[in-house]
Amino acid sequence: MIRYQKLGYVELNVTDINVSSRFYQSMVGLQFVGEGAHHEVFLRCGNDHHNLVLHQASQPGLKLVGWMLQDEQQFDELHARLQKSAVQFRELSDAERAARSLGRTTRMVEPYSGVTFEFYLPKDQTAYRFNEELAKIQRIGHAVIKTAHYGKVVNFVREVLNFAESDSIGDGDGIAFFRCFPNPYHHGFGIGHGAANGWHHINFMVTEIDDIGRALHRLKTFGVPVVFGPGRHPASGSVFLYWLDPDGMTVEYSFGMEEFPEINPRHPRQMPRIPSSLDSWGSYRDPRMASRGSLERAFD
């Protein structure tokens, strides 16, 4: 079976890269790392070279999601599973990897949602320093998409990619939460049901609940739309706050999350599709939440 370390990075398309770069630094608290050859912006929120990459594009959305594998041997299992499922993939060239400070990397497109995944190892064992100037961000937490092919995508990430389901809300019409096995955190990837394939939100986990409160006041001060929270998710136990970036894409801070043991974890729960399954505190969910963002296919 495929074994993972963690969710490593997310790459987003934005319509004004300068505005978005300033926003993710001054409102979210990410650290500027540098620019790439195509003027993409690299940002960090942990000890990796980067955790978020911004690309200039005509429409906003998700470009790709990167999953760090446990070791080199996992590529053999990954490639075998993709070949067995007739899923196209390719390994990145030396030049492509060097431009993004990555080691060995495989790219593929999930066949039903169209989301692009990369599976990688870091270029080296360097532990980079994240400067916690605005918020004590612990790590990039999770990425969530929405899809009209909910059941097929859920089955693919479970059966082919060996993600472990933690919980779900609704019976095929809500959202499913997956952890990249054996990573312990309740979810690193979420799959929501939607009328069409699209981007839902990006999450950053903070180390103090005070970061939630400070963010709320910071966002209100600068007129940034807060679209959900603060509240608490019953599934993961996380305290949350969601807001919109300059393109109207959704960003989340969360504090705290259930962790699963690798051996004998509890069984996934199916919760009813009602508001209290999303927030036990009863906060208002603005309809603008998760309403913007497409999914870019790396190849067809």
Point out the least confidently predicted range of 126-135, 214-223, 227-236, 242-251. Answer: 126-135
Picking from 81, 53, 77, 80, the residue whose alpha carbon sits closest to that of residue 65 is 53
| Mean local confidence (pLDDT), 161-190 | 97
Q: Is the pLDDT of residue 40 over 70?
A: yes
Picking from 157, 175, 194, 145, the residue whose alpha carbon sits closest to that of residue 293 is 145
- DSSP SS3 for 186: coil
E strand or H helix at 215: helix 209-221
Tokens of 198: 């699209």
E strand or H helix at 18: helix 17-26
User: Model confidence at 172, in pLDDT bands (50, 70, 90)?
Assistant: confident
What CA–CA distance (Å, rounded) separates 5 from 22? 30
**102-109/226-232 β-pairing:** unpaired
Q: Is the pLDDT of residue 83 over 90?
A: yes
Classify domain 137-294 at the CATH topology level. Answer: 2,3-Dihydroxybiphenyl 1,2-Dioxygenase; domain 1 (3.10.180)
Spatial CB neighbours of 233, under 8 Å, sequence gap ≥ 6: 240, 254, 278, 279, 280
- DSSP SS3 for 103: strand
| Mean local confidence (pLDDT), 25-34 | 98
User: Model confidence at 129, in pLDDT bands (50, 70, 90)?
Assistant: very high
- Predicted local distance difference test score (pLDDT) of residue 264: 97
The reply to whether CATH 3.10.180.10 applies to domain 4-122 is yes
Of all residues in the chain, the percent with pLDDT exceeding 70 is 100
- Domain range summary for the chain, segments of one domain joined by +: 4-122, 137-294
- Predicted local distance difference test score (pLDDT) of residue 242: 98
- Predicted local distance difference test score (pLDDT) of residue 244: 98
Tokens of 85: 């499922």
Task: At 272, give phi and psi (nearest 5°).
Answer: -65, 150
What distance separates the 2 farthest-apart alpha carbons in the chain?
Answer: 53
- Predicted local distance difference test score (pLDDT) of residue 74: 98
| Mean local confidence (pLDDT), 15-43 | 97
| Mean local confidence (pLDDT), 182-192 | 98
Q: Do domains 4-122 and 137-294 have the same CATH topology?
A: yes
Summarised one tens digit per residue, pLDDT across range 226-282 is 999 999 999 999 999 999 999 999 999 999 999 999 999 999 999 999 999 999 999
Peptide bond into 230 cis (omega under 30): yes
- Predicted local distance difference test score (pLDDT) of residue 300: 64
What CA–CA distance (Å, rounded) separates 198 from 256? 27
User: Model confidence at 80, in pLDDT bands (50, 70, 90)?
Assistant: very high
- DSSP SS3 for 54: strand
E strand or H helix at 51: none
- Predicted local distance difference test score (pLDDT) of residue 249: 98
Tokens of 93: 């060239």
Mean pLDDT of the chain: 97
Neighbours of 202 (CB within 10 A): 24
Q: Which residues pair with 118 in a beta bridge?
A: 66, 107
Tokens of 147: 């899809």
- Predicted local distance difference test score (pLDDT) of residue 126: 86
